[in-house]
């Protein structure tokens, strides 16, 4: 049975993952309507990944005797100056998600809930990859600069950037 403190923290994390999925979705729509088809593909796929992160938490809460709360998500920004702003927002968002996950892990230790602590290690590892990927993309964008040819290649290749990390 989950301690109330842990159950509440996990439900907050469910809300954050749901918000993440929604945020990536609004970014995908922006990218697709700006002609960045590769970036849109990457963001649609990432939105789906975030939904899976949310569902994994929901199933865990229910299995452990809690009740997962289906989150209400807010509309995020729908307009961006450019790709740099999109990926800077993603890095800032993922850094915040990492902090929240670390807080849940900390609460698990305080409550001596080693089962949830063990479960959360998957999220700890996932956040290392997500932050690294956002930084890698920002580095590549900086390299491309204002070169239209380089941006074309960036848009074409972005779906492969995380492939090595996820293999
Ligand atoms: Fe599920 Fe990007 O954090």
d(CA 57, CA 7): 10
23 lines ligand 1 (CB under 6 A): no
Residue 78: per-residue pLDDT: 86
Helix (H, G, I), strand (E, B) or coil at 35: coil
113 lines ligand 1 (CB under 6 A): no
Atom of ligand 1 nearest to the CA of 17: 1
Q: Are 134 and 94 in contact (CB under 8 A)?
A: yes
Atom of ligand 1 nearest to the CA of 46: 2
CA of 97 from ligand 1 middle (Å) equals 7
Mean pLDDT computed over every residue of the chain:
94
Q: Are 101 and 122 in contact (CB under 8 A)?
A: no
**19-39: pLDDT as tens digits:** 999 999 999 999 999 999 999
pTM recorded for the entire structure: 0.93
Structure tokens at 113: 């809930």
With 70 as the cut, is the pLDDT of residue 167 above it? no
**89-105: pLDDT as tens digits:** 999 999 999 999 999 99
Per the listing, tokens 């729509």 go with: 29
With 80 as the cut, is the pLDDT of residue 41 above it? yes
How many Å is the Cα radius of gyration of the chain? Answer: 17
Domain residue ranges of the chain, discontinuous segments joined by +: 4-67+80-162
Residue 77: per-residue pLDDT: 82
CA of 148 from ligand 1 middle (Å) equals 30
Read off φ and ψ for residue 65, nearest 5 degrees.
95, 5
With 80 as the cut, is the pLDDT of residue 164 above it? no
**45-76: pLDDT as tens digits:** 999 999 999 999 999 999 999 999 999 998 77
Fold of 4-67+80-162: Ferritin (1.20.1260)
With 90 as the cut, is the pLDDT of residue 108 above it? yes
**79-92: pLDDT as tens digits:** 999 999 999 999 99
With 90 as the cut, is the pLDDT of residue 137 above it? yes
Q: Which of 52, 50, 49, 48 is nearest to 60 (CA)?
A: 52
d(CA 27, CA 83): 10
Segments in the chain forming alpha helices (H): 4-33, 37-63, 83-110, 114-144, 148-157, 163-166
């Amino acid at each position: 049975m989950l301690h109330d403190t842990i159950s509440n923290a996990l439900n907050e994390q469910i809300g954050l993952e749901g918000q993440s999925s929604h945020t990536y979705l609004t970014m995908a729509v922006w990218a697709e309507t700006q002609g960045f088809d590769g970036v849109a593909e990457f963001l649609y796929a990432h939105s789906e990944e975030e939904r899976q992160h949310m569902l994994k938490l929901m199933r865990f809460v229910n299995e452990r005797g809690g009740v997962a709360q289906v989150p209400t998500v807010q509309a995020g920004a729908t307009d961006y100056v450019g790709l740099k702003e999109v990926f800077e927002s993603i890095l800032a968002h993922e850094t915040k998600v990492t902090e929240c996950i670390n807080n849940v892990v900390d609460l698990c230790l305080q409550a001596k809930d080693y089962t949830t602590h063990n479960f959360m290690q998957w999220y700890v590892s996932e956040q290392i990859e997500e932050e690294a990927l956002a930084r890698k993309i920002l580095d590549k964008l900086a390299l491309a600069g204002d070169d239209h040819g380089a941006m074309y290649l960036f848009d074409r290749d972005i779906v492969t950037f995380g492939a090595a990390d996820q293999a």
